[in-house]
Chain A
Amino acid sequence: MNSAALSNQEPKMVSMDMGQYRKRVLQLADVNIYYGAFHAVKDASLEIYEKQVTAFIGPSGCGKSTVLRSINRMNDMIPGATMHGSVFFHGENLYGLQVDPVLVRRRIGMVFQKPNPFPKSIYENIAWGARINGFTGNYDQLVEQSLKDAALWDEVKDKLKQNALRLSGGQQQRLCIARAIAVSPEVILMDEPASALDPIATGRIEELILELKKDYSIVIVTHNMGQASRVSDYTAFFMVDDHRTGYLQEYAPTEQLFLNPTHKKTEEYISGKFG
């Protein structure tokens, strides 16, 4: 990706937030997403900071997952989806003409709602992504390190050749996280990663997110407000208007959003009045 692909003005690389400077990784500028004629998300603009966890919350149908998928251009894969606006990654527009979406997805990885390991061995689940991206190092080391980073190594080190689909749901989801970090992305997008898991497995995923925060910038979509308050540093609250179009209602540091929401809607949502 080269900076010649820039279409809009170069945004500032740092911004001030509560008295401290944070490095900005991603900036969404006026993101509008349509599914066919349906306006799914309108005018979403926000910034994602390096090595922080940003949570997207909001009621069903508010477009939070849609915005998440626009960050690594997964929406390209959905027939009929169109996107207007820009997503800047280190100042470069990911929707520039010369940008290859495949390369975007390698640098901005994704973990899905339902654990979806490949129907291959545990080892191959991690090695494959590296191999197709042209990794030339030591695969055994890579697999071990990725599994350790995803807090799964101790559970699977003796059965690396076993089919990944034989793992439990929580283990599968951690394998998916290991698979995502094996191609060394900078940002990991998580689309409700724990919603299909039991409370214990959910707890382990949350611990893991806090651990991964040291090395990666994480954006997580969640329905669970407790989860958002436990793991995230920033929270974006999305709402849906009368035309069922989603929009960004409020974006603030998590503590501020939960304790002192600016908007009435935000307050109502986090206090459980609707959703």
Chain B
Amino acid sequence: MADTSAFGAVTEIQRFMDARKRLGLFWQVLFVFATVLAVLFLILLLGSILDSVFGYAVILNEVDPSTLIAGRDKLEDFSREELISVATERLSAGILRRVDYEEPLVERSDRDLRSLIEQYVIKPRALRTWGFAESMIHRDTVVSFMEENNGSYIVFKNWLTPEFIVADQSSDPLKAGIRTALLGSLWIILITLLFAFPIGVGAAIYLQEYARDNRLNRILQLNIFNLSAVPSIIYGLLGLAVFVRAMEPITSGSLFSNVIDNTANGRTILSGGLTLGLLVLPIIIINTQEALKAVPDSLRMSSYGIGATKWQTIWHQVLPVSIDRILTGTILALSRALGETAPLVVIGASTFISVDPAGIFSKFTTLPIQIYQWSARPQGAYRNIAAAAIVALLILLLVMNSVAIYTRDKIARKKRLEA
């Protein structure tokens, strides 16, 4: 009894036990390794983006500010009178006339005058930029590069500034901003939401609550699953054929009289929003169906049991307990739409517009497209503003997902404590 049992000798049991534990440990180590690897890659990705957002830049002014007025080294030291006189003397006649026409020089603020002079007189140009790591480690190369280029100077740039967010598109990376792209993205997401949410939730309610389990509905269901896996560029081609071409009178707004700008030819915010709406529709349907499936049947039965109709059951019992999951799924689907580039490129998003979108019939560009354009340019400084735009896009996505989680938790908490 002391050293044997039905499972064998004690020493054997011990050896078998050790082998079992070793196997468990092996898998555990493997899983930890996988997690660490994933986290490492994420950190690497974020690091490489953030690396481009900060760093030294060597800038060369076409005209040195110290040559404009004797005794003044920097534009910030200029008095108001000096600013106005420099502007009137140095700006070309055509520009001066246009600027004056928009708002007379004497009525403009100091800040406005300084930016005018910087833009048209000083004309700073980034000769070369460095990432954060390089700036820290190889500061001497930055300095020697500056010394090679006469008249240039070093600044430590933070490319993601408030000015970067509110400035419009420009051919000069030092002045370019993402306002038009950000507004374009927000407009498109709004159209996508308005289009895909009601249709998606409606279709999900039909499929989950009303549809009978027959061959037709099973085929329908299978197709929705397949649609959610279709590459997004295919949706772009569909959007091009349907929204941009076939429905051009509607999507360009030419059918409606109140359109000012119809140069977009159907390549409008409306077309883009509808295309992305189609893209996320299957995702919203599947998410909503999952949310409805999670509602226990006993709840429906108890509702029918006291004489509720099908619709009363859905509206008063099923939807209130599933709405948090439906909303979360929708916002996650919208996050995906926000990051989509390919379908919008296909339907013809503008690559360079500096006019804010005025409505659903405007031309548009979006953040991902802006990033794509900038990162394809050869000049180094575009890489930096592309990185800054990526960070802005990530922050926007983070905010949206946080709102989704907050909303879900709030509704769930309300449900728990419900009065």
Contacts and interface: CB of A to CB of B under 8 A. Distances in A.
Contacts of A82: none
Contact of B417 (A102, A105, A107, A163): A163
Contacts of B302: 112, 116-118, 176, 179
Contacts of B415: 119, 163
B301 A183 contact: no
Chain A interface size, as a band, is: 20 to 34
A78 to B, nearest CB: 10
Contact of A116 (B298, B309, B416, B417): B298
A24 interface: no
A93 to B, nearest CB: 19
Contacts of B321: 119
Interface in A103-125: 103, 105-107, 109-112, 114, 116-121
Contacts of B416: 163
A114 B305 CA distance: 14
Interface string B293-325: 000101111111111110010001100110000
Contacts of A106: 306-307
A183 B307 contact: yes
Interface in B258-312: 296, 298-309, 312
Interface in B345-384: none
A183 B213 CA distance: 32
B418 A74 contact: no
A195 B348 CA distance: 65
Contacts of B304: 74, 77, 102, 105
A161 B419 contact: yes
Interface in A121-137: 121, 128-129, 132-133
B72 interface: no
Given A116-B301, A118-B303, A119-B321, A79 B418 contact: no
Contacts of A109: 305-307
A240 interface: no
A27 interface: no
B102 to A, nearest CB: 60
The binding surface of chain B is classed by DSSP as helix
A175 to B, nearest CB: 11
A214 to B, nearest CB: 21
Given A79-B212, A161-B419, A112 B301 contact: yes
B305 A102 contact: no
Contacts of A116: 296, 298-299, 301-302
Interface in B121-161: none
Contacts of B298: 112, 114, 116
Contacts of A110: 301, 305-306
Given A79-B212, A112-B298, A118-B317, A180 B305 contact: yes
Nearest to B310: A102
Given A116-B301, A118-B302, A119-B321, A132 B419 contact: no
Nearest to A179: B306
A72 interface: yes
Contacts of A180: 305-306
Contacts of B305: 72, 74, 105, 109-112, 180
Interface in A59-88: 72, 74, 77, 79-80
A100 B314 CA distance: 18
Contacts of B316: 128, 132
Contact of A121 (B296, B303, B309, B419): B419
A118 B299 contact: yes
Contacts of A107: 307
B213 A79 contact: yes
A125 B305 CA distance: 13
B307 A105 contact: yes
Contacts of A133: 306-307
A125 to B, nearest CB: 9
Contacts of A132: 307-309, 312, 316
Interface in A154-213: 161, 163, 176, 179-180, 182-183
A121 B307 contact: no
Given A79-B212, A119-B321, A161-B419, A129 B301 contact: no
A103 B307 contact: yes
Contacts of A114: 298
Contacts of B312: 132
A72 B306 CA distance: 10
B307 A102 contact: yes
Among B298, B308, B321, the most chain A Cβ lie within 10 Å of the Cβ of B308
14 contacts: A72-B305, A74-B301, A79-B212, A102-B308, A102-B309, A106-B306, A112-B305, A116-B299, A116-B301, A118-B299, A129-B307, A129-B308, A163-B418, A179-B302
Interface of B: 212-213, 296, 298-309, 312, 316-317, 320-321, 415-419
Interface of A: 72, 74, 77, 79-80, 102-103, 105-107, 109-112, 114, 116-121, 128-129, 132-133, 161, 163, 176, 179-180, 182-183
Given A112-B298, A118-B299, A163-B416, 19 more contacts: A74-B305, A77-B304, A80-B213, A103-B307, A105-B306, A106-B306, A107-B307, A110-B301, A110-B305, A118-B317, A119-B299, A119-B320, A119-B321, A129-B308, A132-B308, A133-B306, A133-B307, A163-B418, A183-B307
